[in-house]
Amino acid sequence: MTSQARAVAAASIGNGLEWMSFSSYALLADVIARRFFPATDQALSLMLAVASIGAAYFIRPVGAVVLGAYADRVGRMPALMIAIRIMVAATFLITFIPGYDTIGVLAPIGMLVAVLLQGFSAGGEFGSATAYLIEQNANRRGFMGAWQGASQAASTLLATVLLAVLSGVLTPAQFDSWGWRIPFAIGLLLGPVGFYIRRHLRDSPEFTSARAEPEHPLRATIRTQKSRILLTIGVLAVSTGLNYLLTYMPTFAIRELGLPTSTSFTATILTGVVLTVCSPLAGHLSDRIGRTRMLAAAAVLIFVTSLPFFLLIKSVPSFAVVTAVVTLMGLVKVWYSGPLGALMAEIFPVRTRATGLSIGYNLGIAVFGGLTPLVVTWLIATTGSKLAPAFWIMALAVVSTTAILLAGRYVASDGRRPGGRRRPARYGSRPSP
């Protein structure tokens, strides 16, 4: 196995463990609510379980600051070793902690601690792993960075399929008693593998030479790179919003159009396959034509297609149409999300890359991941139009396109032109106010 293949495996397995555990928890919120957050009101019980997921998102920026700065100060791989240890501990706790009927109030407390550990670890994982990947090969940063998105999609896909199979094979009582723990147990097996691979890897010469900077990376990031963080949040906006829309559209078809619940499962599977397979292809293409150009074009495509997609579903409400539209939306999104990690990483100089990227990414996820459901619900209630989510995504596409174009000031080199000629490095060292 080549050094680059080992780097991809190290980042993907660790990232896969985190996202499989995180996705499984979200998909199992109803079961976890009954077993760990019992209440006289079932709605309140579910709200408590969902609130624990929200707490994980709030703790993610803390993990971004702590582990991101550690990755810039000590090393990418030492930070990733800490992240995978924390995630293994959290997954172990979720897998084996008894329910409320066995240990009482310790059950919800223990589950909350596990989810907070998950969020802290995930907060530092993305920035550190993305920085590590793109620094392995300066000429293939898009391709290397795209494995982050591919591993996230693959983990979510695996969790979805596994839970569907388990719920079909096991009786409801078996699934509710112990079957729901199986995805976490399988994810837990990835931990030692990822730990072993990461243990035998070293940081790139690019990072090693930049680490000699005397100023603490967190201090340098806050002092000189606030605008870069804002641009990272802006670039991430439409991708985060579109993630919600990909989940919302099957739900919209089921609730509003009366389509079968299998619509959501089928659409999720197909979209997961598209994102897993095509992310590295999109990253590779960005190494040829340039990430700024490619992401701007993809953002415009998202803007142009969002409303027609919704109109098509509303006009032809069928299982085939909804599944096809959601799959096409995933295909549109992947050309944006594939090169996204590399571009966000390139906004920051090497010595503060993991810190800045971790902070910007997790704040962007928190802001637009939290705002999108609220804004969409408000727009539908205010306008009375079921097409309102499309207008929100279109607005986010404008925000992201603007951020992409402004980010060109800081990106020293965002890929190759056709024919292999490098883009001129005009803006890479310019400090942000």
| % of residues, the chain, pLDDT over 70 | 88
pLDDT score for 431? 38
pTM to 2 decimal places? 0.81
* Residue pLDDT, tens place only, 97-138: 999 889 988 988 999 899 899 889 988 888 889 999 998 888
Supply the DSSP string of 385-399, one letter for each residue. -TTHHHHHHHHHHHH
* Residue pLDDT, tens place only, 172-196: 889 888 999 998 998 888 888 888 8
Model confidence band, residue 298 (pLDDT cutoffs 50, 70, 90): very high
Distance CA 315, CA 296 (A): 30
pLDDT score for 82? 93
Model confidence band, residue 423 (pLDDT cutoffs 50, 70, 90): very low
Question: Mean pLDDT across the chain, nearest whole number?
Answer: 83
Distance CA 91, CA 109 (A): 15
Q: Encode burial over 182-198: b for 16+ CB neighbours within 10 A, e otherwise.
A: bbbebbbebbeebbebb
Top mean-pLDDT range of 118-132, 247-261, 406-420: 118-132
Residue 432 has pLDDT above 50, yes or no: no
Distance CA 124, CA 83 (A): 7
Model confidence band, residue 429 (pLDDT cutoffs 50, 70, 90): very low
pLDDT score for 420? 39
Q: Where in the chain is the domain with CATH 1.20.1250.20?
A: 1-204, 216-433
Distance CA 419, CA 422 (A): 9
Residue 430 has pLDDT above 50, yes or no: no
Q: Is CATH 3.20.20.70 what the domain over 216-433 is classified as, yes or no? A: no
Residue 425 has pLDDT above 50, yes or no: no
**CATH of the structural domain 1-204, one choice from 2.30.110.10, 3.40.605.10, 3.30.70.260, 1.20.1250.20:** 1.20.1250.20
pLDDT score for 29? 78
3-state secondary structure 194-253: HHHHHHCCCCCHHHHHHCCCCCCHHHHHHHHCHHHHHHHHHHHHHHHHHHHHHHHHHHHH
Maximum pairwise Cα distance, the chain: 66
* Residue pLDDT, tens place only, 323-368: 888 889 899 999 999 999 999 999 999 889 999 999 999 899 888 8
